[in-house]
Chains A and B, each alone.
Chain A
Amino acid sequence: MINKKVASVSEALKGITDQMTLMLGGFGLSGIPENAIAQLVKLNVKGLTCISNNAGVDDFGLGQLLHKKQIKKMISSYVGENGEFERQMLSGELDVELIPQGTLAERCRAAQAGFPAFYTPAGYGTEVAQGKETREFDGKMYVLEKAFDADYAFVKAWKGDAAGNLIFKGTARNFNPNMCGAAKITVAEVEELVPVGELDPNQIHIPGIFVQRIFQGKNYEKRIEQRTVRQR
């Protein structure tokens, strides 16, 4: 077993410097790497390019980094529900690249899987395709999209072990598995770091080979953005 376990979040984020490109898992606030984000706030690294489906809310998730103006550029598919984000974007302080959600996922997966680029129908004929190569296959038009090139990927899983194996829970899975191994260094934080051998190899979602560092996360808030219930 190759040991990926690190003792703390500060050890897990060793090597992070200004101007880096980071991938962060999560959909809305579900499945975000809360511990890594808190540490990025603490380290106060600046000029970051963040690849993440959303940008958090004003006071949580990536919203915390936006608030401290640590982010230079966001690459996301949907950025609603964040007033500070909108303010920085409209004032030009923040560079924003909005891309289709499936393209975002596939650009992660392509980086993970060793594909430099791929054709997708998403965005053809829209401003998303501007300046990009397009091509026809069997009568339908496609846009060439490139794999991401990121320095670090921060993901959050439900369970993991020192070998770096990961299991996700519910829809907190989202982009997290696609970002594993898609950056030079993948850092996984988990709710439960279990002894090696405890996870059933049949049930592993992400094999440890895609993860360089893993640590036991702490104090998960797991905020709900739109608490919606029905009457009994």
Chain B
Amino acid sequence: MLDKNGIAKRIAKEVKNGYYVNLGIGIPTLVANFVRDDIEVEFQSENGVLGMGPFPFEGEEDADIINAGKQTITTLPGASFFDSATSFSMIRGQHVDLTILGAMEVAENGDIANWKIPGKMVKGMGGAMDLVASAENIIVAMMHTNRAGESKLLKRCSLPLTGVECVKKIVTNMAVIEITDKGFKLLERAPGVSVEDIKMATEGTLIVEGEIPEMDL
């Protein structure tokens, strides 16, 4: 079973040379720490920066330079700042190559829910609806089950949707799964996790074809 850093490390392998990548809040933010040094990637944050660098050293924080999680950040050579409409032109116009975000639920048809629990939690969708409606390549980073131990990979989402039929791939603490016309297709297992474990933790249709390899981290 992977921890959050393990999930981020596995997703980092999906980041290819020349990609512009938008990272959501939470586990996705950690992905930047594991991207190979020998490839060129630029991270976009929807509040208006391309070419995000690491967090600043203590004493060098600048209130005017933050990411979408409102954390202080730095920029790398070649970075740029822009307004929100331009930022979402990059997103809606499909100039961003890869979107990595968290979710509360994903359905086997690629629907995603991550912004609202009616009556309990309403924080808002932020940029998530724009991102999932537009991106060609969306990877969801999340735990396989919620705190109550219930599956987050469902036949149908029960929570209000963020987007419809948009998720392509899911990386959880247990597995790498691809969304296909027929349901969740199991691609890889996390170290120490069996196919049976994943079946038990997946409410939606799980497709298992042949031998399922363990993740190569």
A contact residues vs B (CB 8 Å cutoff): 27-31, 53, 76-81, 86, 89-90, 96, 98-106, 108-109, 120-128, 158, 168-178, 205, 222-232
Q: Which among B47, B54, B134 has the greatest number of chain A C-beta atoms within 10 A? A: B47
Contacts of B146 in A (CB 8 A): none
Answer whether A102 and B130 are a contact pair too, CB < 8 Å, given A27-B47, A27-B48: yes
Q: In the complex, what distance in Å separates the CA atom of A175 from the CA atom of B84?
A: 5
Q: In the complex, what distance in Å separates the CA atom of A224 from the CA atom of B217?
A: 36
Is B49 in contact with A228, judged by CB distance below 8 angstroms?
Answer: no
Contacts of A108 in B (CB 8 A): 84-85
Contacts of A171 in B (CB 8 A): 45, 47-49, 64-67, 81
Mask for B48-75, Cβ within 8 A of A = 1, else 0? 1100001111101111111111111100
Q: In the complex, what distance in Å separates the CA atom of A96 from the CA atom of B48?
A: 25
Is B130 in contact with A100, judged by CB distance below 8 angstroms?
Answer: yes
Answer whether A173 and B163 are a contact pair too, CB < 8 Å, given A101-B130, A226-B71: no
Is A105 in contact with B161, judged by CB distance below 8 angstroms?
Answer: no
Answer whether A125 and B163 are a contact pair too, CB < 8 Å, given A77-B126, A171-B65, A229-B61: yes
Q: In the complex, what distance in Å separates the CA atom of A79 from the CA atom of B163?
A: 19
Seed contacts A98-B115, A102-B88; 10 additional CB < 8 Å A-B pairs:
A28-B47, A53-B84, A125-B111, A125-B164, A126-B163, A170-B65, A174-B83, A175-B84, A228-B55, A232-B58
Is B63 in contact with A223, judged by CB distance below 8 angstroms?
Answer: yes
Mask for B84-99, Cβ within 8 A of A = 1, else 0? 1101100110000000
Stretch among B11-19, B35-43, B117-125, B176-184 lining the A interface: B117-125
CB distance from B70 to the nearest CB of A (A): 4
Is A122 in contact with B129, judged by CB distance below 8 angstroms?
Answer: yes
Contacts of B88 in A (CB 8 A): 101-102, 105-106
Mask for B121-140, Cβ within 8 A of A = 1, else 0? 01111111110011000000
Contacts of B54 in A (CB 8 A): 230
Contacts of A121 in B (CB 8 A): 92, 133-134
Is B87 in contact with A227, judged by CB distance below 8 angstroms?
Answer: no
Q: In the complex, what distance in Å separates the CA atom of A148 from the CA atom of B201?
A: 45
Contact of A28 among B70, B85, B123, B129 (CB under 8 A): B70
Contact of B83 among A86, A176, A227 (CB under 8 A): A176
Sample of 29 A–B contacts (CB below 8 Å): A27-B48, A27-B70, A27-B84, A30-B47, A78-B126, A86-B122, A98-B125, A101-B46, A101-B126, A102-B92, A102-B130, A105-B83, A108-B85, A120-B130, A122-B129, A123-B129, A125-B111, A158-B64, A171-B45, A171-B47, A174-B83, A224-B70, A224-B72, A226-B72, A227-B61, A227-B72, A229-B56, A229-B61, A231-B57
CB distance from B124 to the nearest CB of A (A): 4
Is A232 in contact with B129, judged by CB distance below 8 angstroms?
Answer: no
Is B130 in contact with A178, judged by CB distance below 8 angstroms?
Answer: no
Q: In the complex, what distance in Å separates the CA atom of A10 from the CA atom of B192?
A: 66
The 10 closest A-B pairs by CB, nearest first: A102-B88, A102-B130, A125-B164, A170-B64, A105-B84, A100-B129, A80-B123, A222-B63, A121-B133, A228-B71
Contacts of B119 in A (CB 8 A): 90
Contact of B125 among A29, A100, A175, A229 (CB under 8 A): A100
Q: In the complex, what distance in Å separates the CA atom of A126 from the CA atom of B130?
A: 12
Is B122 in contact with A178, judged by CB distance below 8 angstroms?
Answer: no
CB distance from A107 to the nearest CB of B (A): 10
Q: In the complex, what distance in Å separates the CA atom of A98 from the CA atom of B57?
A: 35
Is A228 in contact with B126, judged by CB distance below 8 angstroms?
Answer: no
Contacts of A225 in B (CB 8 A): 66, 70
Is A89 in contact with B84, judged by CB distance below 8 angstroms?
Answer: no
